[in-house]
């Protein structure tokens, strides 16, 4: 409306627009906290801004396909991408073991979380 000349009020700022939809505290606790980190993740930027026919799939970016993603999903994505989140357990082959001798990553750790080393 501003570009068309039909807006009769004063020019709106970004703050004015945010305050129309969410409170200041919600903006700072969710929007700013999460979206300020997004530019550091090119795949997420491409998913958000890309052409729907040419952007990465939900599965490629999020690891799951959902109809709606929320701030909990975005926070988990950012933490995992930054190496701070919980990682899925991987199956790794023990040294000198065979295919039936697999264990989940993290097994064989002592109480303080350090891995036990095998010495030959």
pLDDT at 109: 44
Separation in Å, CA 82 to CA 6, 53, 62, 66, 69: 45, 28, 14, 22, 19
C-beta contacts of 75-84 below 8 A and 24+ residues apart: 75/34, 77/41, 77/44, 78/34, 78/37, 78/38, 78/41, 81/41, 81/44, 82/37
User: 105 or 30: which carries more pLDDT confidence?
Assistant: 30
Average pLDDT of 48-63? Answer: 88
End-to-end alpha-carbon separation of the chain, Å?
75
Whole-model pTM over 0.75: no
Average pLDDT of 75-101? Answer: 63
């Amino acid at each position: 409306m501003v570009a068309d000349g039909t807006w009769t009020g004063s020019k709106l700022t970004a703050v004015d627009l945010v305050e129309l939809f969410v409170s200041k505290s919600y903006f700072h606790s969710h929007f700013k906290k999460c979206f300020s980190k997004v530019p550091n993740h090119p795949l997420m930027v491409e998913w958000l801004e890309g052409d729907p026919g040419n952007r990465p799939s939900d599965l490629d970016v999020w690891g799951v396909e959902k109809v709606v993603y929320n701030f909990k999903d975005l926070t988990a994505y950012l933490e995992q991408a930054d190496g701070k989140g919980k990682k899925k357990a991987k199956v790794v082959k023990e040294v000198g073991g065979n295919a039936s001798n697999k264990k989940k990553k993290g097994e064989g750790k002592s109480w303080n979380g350090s891995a036990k080393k095998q010495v030959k």
